[in-house]
Amino acid sequence: MRTIYNLLNSIDVKRGGLTRVMFERSSFLAEKGFDSKLLTIDYSTRYQEIEKELHDTGRLSKKVNIINIFDYYKQKNTAGNITLDQINQYTISNKLHEAAYLIEDRFYISREARYFNEKGMYVKYKKWTKEGTLSFIDFFDETRAKVKREIYHQKGYVQKVTYFDRAKGVPKQELYYTEDGFCYINIQINVETNKPYLIFLFDREKQNVISFGTSNPNLLFHAHWLNELCGKHEQKPFLVNDGIFLTHTVMKVDKEKAFRICTIHTNHFDTPFKYGSPLRKSHIHLLENFHQLDALVLLTENQRSMVVKQFGDANNTYVISNSTETDDVKKFKGNKDFNTVSMVGRYHKDKLMHEAIQAFNRIHLKYPNVKFQLYGTGPEEENLINLVKKLNLDNKVIINSYTTDLAKVYGESLFTVLTSKYEGFGLVILESMFQSTPVISYDAPFGPKDIIDDGENGLLVHSNSEKELAEKNGAVVSKSR
């Protein structure tokens, strides 16, 4: 069975867009008989929980597993279960009351406690989870500078220890431990930049140490892992990179060990986002070196032609558009609400959601029963909430959190709105159309005009202005009456 690795920085449950694309692609390939896996490079203690929730909710095929770099080396270096010494140490550490200290006991209020020595110095802080298991302990010196943090696994062992720079109060060294107490990674951190400058990887079986540094230790560490992972296969696997910032890492993977494929999920131009504009800094290395890859995958023919025109044709560029689930089981079975307009996406300034709200503000008095529902998460959420209040639209425009029940959101809506400055494709357009809901979208590069037949299955706002958007919103609402 041929293996396909899909690489991204991180994965979490409450994410759409690119993450959702990865889930659907990986699930599709797994159902077609491929050994499809998701790879992540961040440190998180939640991947087992995340994978289970994704499987249980049907967002990810149960045939697809998540492999995290830290979990991989943790498992590789685990020789047994938690030891008796570790259990005894945890029993002591987990105690709320310790005879040698004066204690500010806030356990039943906020699951925390502060510890003072006989001289009155604040020396230790403990935090427990809401279930009552020890989460971490902070240790302080005589100047009240934090010097160490011990982070505990719910099973009752130390899984990570961070040492802090006394003067700056920032991490300077991180140690990662297996369940049976073996340190498998040591990360040295530059206290000026807060970035790793040296990484040590320990191999328990071979009793050796590999170091990565000093210019870009993360890149070298991640590339080492990918080479090790891909090198295990008799049949060369496919390595698909979905994280643009991991381009350098994928380029470091031995081409004899994997078919290296990079994808572009967004507009590669900076403002004004059209041919001739400056390139995004994040995309320069990929676009100047994609001829070294086995494939560069883009989402539209329009974007592919621009890349080839500017950088030459290496006969390795392909167009594979995003897709969405089309199983009738996923089709919304309820009724349309002709008084609901919706918008789904990341709350980010480049999505121009404030313009969508302002466009709605132009028509809401004429159509007082219509409500505008937004769903997402992101840094602009508070600004959008404040705008709604400023326009006195509290009961008309609702800023909702991220939802996974997109079938209901799209299916109930009269139409959906997209106001992005730019797109790579516009998956939300496909998802809305599948639920028989048209989209009114800015004519952003790339995607909307590749999907929407203007006037047939949606409307394009060619001027990309809230005034024209308001006019087209009003026209569709009026026609539904």
Task: State whether 470 and 351 are in the same domain.
Answer: yes
Tally of CB atoms within 10 A around 109: 7
Query: Are 309 and 385 in a shared domain?
Result: no
Secondary structure of residue 71 in the 3-state scheme: helix
Query: DSSP character for 13?
Result: S
Q: Is there a single domain that holds both residue 339 and residue 308?
A: no
Strand 3-8 with 122-128, pairing: unpaired
Residue 45 has pLDDT above 60, yes or no: yes
Q: Check whether 204 has a pLDDT greater than 90.
A: yes
- Look over the chain and give the mean of its residue pLDDT values, rounded to a whole number: 94
In tens, the pLDDT along 374-406 reads 999 999 999 999 999 999 999 999 999 988 899
106-148 pLDDT per residue, tens: 999 999 999 999 999 999 999 999 999 999 999 999 999 999 9
Measured CA distances, 298 to 267, 316, 370 (Å): 10, 11, 38
Strand partners, 295: 261
Query: 283 and 162, same structural domain?
Result: no
pLDDT at position 16: 75
Q: What percent of the chain has pLDDT over 90?
A: 89
Q: Does 132 share its domain with 96? A: yes
In this prediction, residue 6 carries a pLDDT of: 97
For helices 281-289 and 301-311, the axis angle rounded to 10 degrees is 70
Q: Which of 152, 182, 215 is the last residue of a domain?
A: 215
Coil, strand or helix: which one is 320? coil
What percent of the chain shows pLDDT beyond 70?
99
Do 247 and 334 belong together in one domain?
no
Domain count, the chain: 3
The torsion defined by the Cα of 103, 106, 107 and 112, in degrees rounded to 10, comes to -80
The answer, yes or no, to whether residue 5 has pLDDT greater than 60, is: yes
Flag whether pLDDT at 327 surpasses 80.
no
Looking at per-residue pLDDT, the higher value among 229 and 17 belongs to: 229
Give CB contacts under 8 A, 24+ apart, made by 138-146.
141/166, 145/169
CA distances from 118 to 29, 96, 123 (A): 63, 17, 10
- The CB density around residue 425, as the number of other CB atoms within 10 Å, is 23
Here the CATH number for the domain that contains residue 103 is: 3.90.930
Contact 457, 433 (CB under 8 A): yes
pLDDT band at residue 414 using 50, 70 and 90 as cut-offs: very high
Res 328: pLDDT: 65
Alpha carbon distance 219, 69 (integer Å):
12
Task: Please identify, among 261, 284, 319, the residue that sits at the C-terminal boundary of a domain.
Answer: 319
Whole-number pLDDT of residue 18: 84
Q: What is the per-residue pLDDT for 330?
A: 75
pLDDT tops 80 at residue 329:
no
Chain segment 72-116, per-residue pLDDT in tens: 999 999 999 999 999 999 999 999 999 999 999 999 999 999 999
How large is the average pLDDT for residues 219-237?
A: 97
Q: At 284, which amino acid appears? A: I
* pTM beyond 0.95: no
If asked whether residues 312 and 384 sit together in one domain, one would say no
How many CA atoms within 13 Å lie on the side-chain side of 418? 35
427/346 same-domain check: yes
What range does the domain containing 264 cover?
3-76+219-319
Domain closes at, from 215, 240, 268: 215
Q: With 70 as the cut, is the pLDDT of residue 348 above it?
A: yes
**Range 345-369 burial, b when 16+ CB lie within 10 A, else e:** bbbbebbbbbbbbbbbbebbeebee
**Separation of alpha carbons 202 and 74, rounded Å:** 10
Unique residue bearing structure tokens 């279960």: 81
β-bridge mates for residue 183, sequence order: 177
- Between 259 and 58, name the one with better pLDDT: 259
Kindly state the helix (H) or strand (E) to which residue 459 belongs, with its residue range. Answer: strand 458-461
Compute the distance between CA of residue 441 and CA of residue 357 in angstroms, rounded to an integer. Answer: 14
Would you mind telling me the total number of residues written for the chain in this entry?
Answer: 481
Q: Tens of pLDDT along 18-32? A: 888 899 999 999 999
Q: Phi and psi at residue 219, in whole multiples of 5°?
A: -60, -45
Query: What is residue 130's three-state secondary structure?
Result: coil
pLDDT at residue 4 greater than cutoff 70: yes
Two tokens, residue 35:
């050994």
- One domain, residues 367 and 455: yes
Q: Please tell me which residue, 301 or 16, carries the higher pLDDT value.
A: 301
Buried-state track 274-293, b at ≥16 Cβ within 10 A, e below 16: eeeeeebeebeebbeebeeb
Q: Which amino acid is at 403?
A: T
Answer yes or no: are the C-beta atoms of 230 and 237 closer than 8 Å.
yes
- What's residue 447's pLDDT? 87
Can you give the CATH number for the domain in which 362 is found?
Answer: 3.40.50.2000
| 99 lies in the same domain as 38 | no
Give Cα 138 to chain centroid, integer Å. 29
Tokens 């990662």 belong to 176
d(CA 95, CA 111): 12
| Model confidence at 326: pLDDT above 80 | no
Tokens of 167: 């003067």
End-to-end CA distance of the chain: 55
For residues 339-360, average pLDDT: 96
Give the whole-angstrom CA distance, residue 24 versus residue 481. Answer: 37
**Do 206 and 232 fall within a single domain?**
no
Check whether residue 446 and residue 405 sit in a common domain: yes
For 268, residues 6+ apart whose C-beta sits below 8 A from its C-beta are: 279, 280, 283, 287, 303, 307
Closest CA to 268 of 295, 238, 290: 290
Residues 6+ away with beta carbon under 8 Å from 294: 255, 259, 260, 261, 316
